[in-house]
Amino acid sequence: MNSYKANTRRFNSGSRSVAGLIIPYCSNEPRSEDLSRYAESGIYIGRTDKFADPVFLNLHGAVNPHIFVAGISGSGKSFMMKNLMLRMSNIAGYSIVILDFTGEYRRFTEYSFCTTMGSGAKVKAMLDANKLLYADLSCMPAENLKVKAAERFLGDLIDVMRKFKADSEFRLFIFLDEAWKIIKKKELLETFIREGRKYGVGLIMGSQILDDIDRKVSENIGTIFVFRMQNADSLEKLSKDYSLTNDVIARIQELGVGSCLQLQLLKSEERTCFFIRKVGGVEFADILKICIGAGMYIEVEENEFYEFLDSLEISKEKIAEIKAEIEKSAEVDLEKVIMKLLNVCFDRKKILNGLRQMGLKDSDIADAFSNAVSTLYNT
């Protein structure tokens, strides 16, 4: 397991200080009474890891309404985004804008548009009329066109935002998954981060990795949810920028599907840091346990594993054979699967990349490959 030294640099005066020393943050669940204080005004997220206390997102107590959701594919990041969308729109009554690069959020919306995004005036009129505005970019034929459309639309939203009355009342939240896609236009994100609170506008971003996000953006976000993460650069960034202890960083690498760390910087300059057992409000996909040796498992979405098999372009008969074995126990032995795949797929790079994308660590993949090759050679 990778571990990183917790950096002792002060983060927005949010770190605790004793006798001039900056103390790294460890996971420390808030008191039950503090969490329940926001039951009426907050947004339900899930339950705490240790005592199963209900967690309500306290946007009014945070330094700003901006939220960042990070985690590898299949960790629960998208489910958190959907949970926030549904509750902010249907329960809290905020206006919602969704920029969707893949079409993943289409069924959560009622209104959709794509190439004819129009001017800022048109965007404002649609927001006033519908409360929910969905920009489906997935129908565009090329990635660069999606990015240009998203940048143009965010520019229009900035014009709309600056016409709002400047007060502290939250009115609009913009959901931007795969935020790294527009990182070259980071000034757009910085504008929302700097000015959003004044106009009651929050930016909610999702990304698989943290190190692609500019520091001016990531350091000035009030609330961060971190799901399972294996990327070394992202873990290093978490350790340095948020002064997290080694134990917290290690725990992030082992989180199950739907579990996450919540970091929040409050107006009082205090900061909360604790784990959430499972995000509530949205049903999770079927989970597959992958044994990586010695009784150790990681969890991935079953559909994601089957998509990995399909990507290898092996015979349907062989895929059906592997699926049949999995369905007997809802778990799979990594070494045995690699052995089967090596017999029918000669592209080891595809196998390696697919396993990485599901969140398996290189060290576990290497051990399984080594044992599988050794077994095949000896037999």
Chain centroid to Cα 180, Å, comes to 12
pTM of the model: 0.67
Domain residue spans in the chain? Answer: 16-279, 287-378
CATH number of 16-279: 3.40.50.300
**Dihedral angle computed from the Cα positions of residues 40, 225, 70 and 44, in that order, rounded to the nearest 10 degrees:** -20
Helix (H, G, I), strand (E, B) or coil at 194: helix
d(CA 63, CA 335): 47
The percent of residues in the chain predicted with pLDDT above 90, rounded, is 6
Chain centroid to Cα 35, Å, comes to 22
Q: Tell me: the pLDDT tens digits for 280-338? A: 765 545 667 788 877 777 777 776 787 788 778 778 788 888 777 776 666 778 888 88
Q: Tell me: the pLDDT tens digits for 76-122? A: 888 888 888 888 877 777 888 888 887 777 766 644 443 344 445 55
Q: Tell me: the pLDDT tens digits for 48-79? A: 888 888 888 888 888 888 999 998 877 888 88
Higher pLDDT, 211 or 200: 200
Please count the residues of the chain.
379
